[in-house]
Chain A
Amino acid sequence: MAHAKVTRFNVASLALGFAFLYLPIVILVIYSFNASRLVTVWGGWSLVWYREFFNDSAMIEAAWMSLRVGAASATIATLLGTLAAVALSRGENFRGRTLFSGMLYAPLVMPEVITGLSLLLLFVATNAERGFWTVAIAHTTLTMCFVAVVVQSRLGSLDRSLEEAAMDLGCDPVRAFLMVTLPLIIPAIVAGWMLAFTLSLDDLVIASFTTGPGSATLPIRIYSEVRLGVKPEINAICTMVIGLIAVVIVVASLVSKLTSARGESAAPL
């Protein structure tokens, strides 16, 4: 729609839409700097609730657990998801392909209560000790599907004559992939890792099912506090998580902007 006129209606719907998406987050961030103990009464600027967080050892431990689970699961998910994307977009037709892609697309929309419950029952049946690794495996299963879709859509938009030219010039397929295709899809792989990391950092339901006693993740701790009511400390924690995610997004889009040769859309999805 390159030449179409931008009407007043278009501008209004964009402005209202973005305001709706961002105002609550902005308000949350502002209130996190509120000195007053009553969340909604403004008592001047202060960092007191951030100090509160750094003295809350249970919360710190949960945050550390979440960061480790996020890093571990995002890394395995990126590896598996990239492999899956390569097989789907370059493997032509192979036996079991329909089941394979079905298994990869279904978790994207599958209600989390179902995924969480089914994985827990598997872990219980196999007597796996529940904690860090069970949550990491569960998150890998969910997030590798997102990585696969991100990388697959990048692979689909690549000019395949590049890798074919490399093979005509004598590269074997593996070498052609490593030397030509892989460098071109690196931005998507990086974006995939970051998406997997933030999804893992965000997940409450699947982690609640698959974790064991004594190893709560950050969302599990936040959830149990939020159920008891609004606390200014939670505002501070949420602001820090938003800050972390913002950094991740900026890095992801910078990476894809710097490395995408044709300067296409920098958006990481």
Chain B
Amino acid sequence: MSARRIFARPARFAAIAPYVWMVLFFLVPFAFVLKISLSQTAITQPPYTPVFDVTAGWAAIKQAFGALSIDNFRLLVSDDLYVLSYLRSLVVALVSTSILLLIGYPIAYGMARLPKRWQPIAMMLVIVPFWTSFLIRIYAWINILQHDGLLNQILLALHLVSQPVVWLSTDSAMYLGIVYSYLPFMILPLYATLVKMEPSLEEAAADLGASPLHVFWLVTFPLSLPGVGAGVLLCFIPIVGEFVIPDLLAGSNSLMIGQTLWLEFFTNKDWPVASATAIVLLVLLIAPLLLYDRLQRRQLEQR
């Protein structure tokens, strides 16, 4: 038996504790979300009618199944508020992921072109904001964008505008905040694939007469597709469910789905509808999540 296989046996035992933890605190909770999404709203504490009390015997279980209702899901489909906020979330995520790719690509490309000894520093500079609090970085923008904030002061001083512009509570502020917050998530996977690319491939294409634009489209970009995929998914999936950024920077006339869920849960105390909202959001994200899982697996396990 090879050393590798002997080593594998105790290594598998290491999986037990994290496995149990993730089943208990990641998988099992979804069962509760599903269960409560199928129960009725009630003005009690906690605010839903309990279903499934296994201790009460078979009759009670049968009755509980009878009490399950898909009313909450029917509400989600019939009420424009929910449909619109799902759509808005998808549109916002698509638009901001595209902007992120457009901005992140040149930065990642520039990093990969730097001399070897500067690259760790550049990478550090990208990682530091990623470690710094989301909330604080959004707050920093509120400082700048508010009515008498720095941006308006500069614009007024340069006589570019005659009176302060409303920046806060607009979609532009929200897009700015999202792009700012997620930029490191786009740059890092792009850089990781670009840095592994052989520069001789681009040189060869150029020597054979391809224009720089052709070199990029026919050589660089296709070879960087794994990084593009990882970066896009790493941004798109969480942005769809984003709450903090639209809540603090966007106006309140149209909500993203994360805000709707938050509102149902914390303000309306309607846990069943909040749960149903979460289930639908999860179903929408299943395909990108599976794709991301495959990419992540390939990246971490094929060496």
Residues of A within 8 A of B (CB): 1-7, 9-11, 13-14, 17-18, 20-22, 24-25, 27-28, 31, 38-41, 79-81, 83-84, 86-92, 94, 96, 100-115, 117-119, 121-122, 124-125, 137-138, 140-141, 144, 148-149, 152-153, 156-157, 160, 163-164, 167-168, 173-174, 176-177, 195, 198, 201-202, 204-205, 208-209, 219, 222-223, 226-227, 230, 234-235, 238, 241-242, 245-246, 248-249, 253, 265-269
Closest A residue to B141 by beta carbon equals A24
Would B143 and A28 count as touching, CB distance under 8 A? yes
| Contacts A10-B113, A230-B146 given; does A246 touch B278 at CB 8 Å | no
Closest B residue to A246 by beta carbon equals B128
Most buried by A among B135, B142, B297: B135
| Contacts A112-B241, A118-B278, A201-B133 given; does A40 touch B146 at CB 8 Å | yes
Would A114 and B103 count as touching, CB distance under 8 A? no
Contacts of B127 in A (CB 8 A): 249, 267-269
Would A1 and B197 count as touching, CB distance under 8 A? yes
Q: In the bound complex, how far is the Cα of B128 from the Cα of A248, in angstroms? A: 10
Q: Which single member of A124, A234, A268 contacts B46 (CB below 8 Å)?
A: A124
Would A164 and B248 count as touching, CB distance under 8 A? no
Would B109 and A13 count as touching, CB distance under 8 A? yes
Contacts of A2 in B (CB 8 A): 116, 199
| 4 pairs of A and B residues whose beta carbons are closest in the complex | A111-B241, A87-B15, A118-B29, A13-B106
Would B22 and A88 count as touching, CB distance under 8 A? no
| Contacts A109-B237, A111-B240, A112-B241 given; does A4 touch B199 at CB 8 Å | yes
Q: In the bound complex, how far is the Cα of B144 from the Cα of A195, in angstroms? A: 28
Within B113-163, the residues touching A (CB, 8 Å) are: 113-116, 119-120, 122-137, 139-144, 146, 148-150, 153
Would B27 and A122 count as touching, CB distance under 8 A? no
> Smallest Cβ distance from A123 to chain B, in angstroms?
9
> Smallest Cβ distance from B223 to chain A, in angstroms?
11
Could you list 20 examples of A-B contacts with CB < 8 Å?
A: A10-B114, A24-B143, A25-B129, A27-B144, A79-B17, A83-B15, A89-B301, A100-B19, A108-B234, A111-B241, A113-B278, A122-B25, A157-B303, A164-B4, A198-B133, A222-B135, A223-B244, A235-B143, A265-B120, A267-B120
- Over the window 146-182 of chain B, the binary record of Cβ atoms lying under 8 Å from chain A Cβ atoms (1 yes, 0 no) is 1011100100000000000000000000000000100
Q: In the bound complex, how far is the Cα of B3 from the Cα of A167, in angstroms? A: 7
Would B131 and A245 count as touching, CB distance under 8 A? yes
Q: Which single member of A13, A104, A117 contacts B274 (CB below 8 Å)?
A: A117
Q: In the bound complex, how far is the Cα of B24 from the Cα of A80, in angstroms? A: 14
Would B293 and A101 count as touching, CB distance under 8 A? yes
Closest A residue to B152 by beta carbon equals A40
| Contacts A109-B238, A111-B240, A205-B244 given; does A238 touch B4 at CB 8 Å | no
Closest B residue to A209 by beta carbon equals B265
Would A202 and B133 count as touching, CB distance under 8 A? yes
> Smallest Cβ distance from A145 to chain B, in angstroms?
8
Closest A residue to B11 by beta carbon equals A90
| Beyond known contacts A84-B19, A140-B25, A219-B135: 6 more, CB 8 A cutoff | A20-B180, A31-B143, A108-B234, A141-B26, A198-B133, A204-B135
Q: Which single member of A104, A119, A238 contacts B29 (CB below 8 Å)?
A: A119
Within B267-291, the residues touching A (CB, 8 Å) are: 271, 274-275, 278, 281-282, 285, 289
> Smallest Cβ distance from B44 to chain A, in angstroms?
12
Interface of B is mostly: helix
> Smallest Cβ distance from B264 to chain A, in angstroms?
10
Q: Which single member of A119, A205, A238 contacts B140 (CB below 8 Å)?
A: A238
Would B281 and A114 count as touching, CB distance under 8 A? yes
Closest B residue to A84 by beta carbon equals B18
Q: In the bound complex, how far is the Cα of B114 from the Cα of A152, in angstroms? A: 27
| Contacts A111-B241, A156-B303, A227-B248 given; does A173 touch B18 at CB 8 Å | no
Q: Which single member of B129, B142, B244, B297 contacts A22 (CB below 8 Å)?
A: B129
> Smallest Cβ distance from B186 to chain A, in angstroms?
11
| Contacts A1-B199, A100-B22, A109-B289 given; does A241 touch B36 at CB 8 Å | no
Closest B residue to A263 by beta carbon equals B120
Would B4 and A109 count as touching, CB distance under 8 A? no
Contacts of A6 in B (CB 8 A): 110, 113-115
Q: Is B112 an interface residue (CB 8 A)?
A: yes
Contacts of A27 in B (CB 8 A): 140, 143-144, 150
Contacts of A241 in B (CB 8 A): 133, 136
Contacts of B202 in A (CB 8 A): 4
Q: In the bound complex, how far is the Cα of B140 from the Cα of A119, in angstroms? A: 30
| Contacts A117-B274, A230-B143 given; does A141 touch B22 at CB 8 Å | yes
Q: In the bound complex, how far is the Cα of B203 from the Cα of A169, in angstroms? A: 48
- Over the window 12-51 of chain B, the binary record of Cβ atoms lying under 8 Å from chain A Cβ atoms (1 yes, 0 no) is 1111011101110111111011001000000000100000
Q: In the bound complex, how far is the Cα of B28 from the Cα of A168, in angstroms? A: 43
Contacts of A242 in B (CB 8 A): 132-133, 136
Most buried by A among B28, B46, B296: B296
Q: Which single member of B15, B136, B265 contacts A91 (CB below 8 Å)?
A: B15
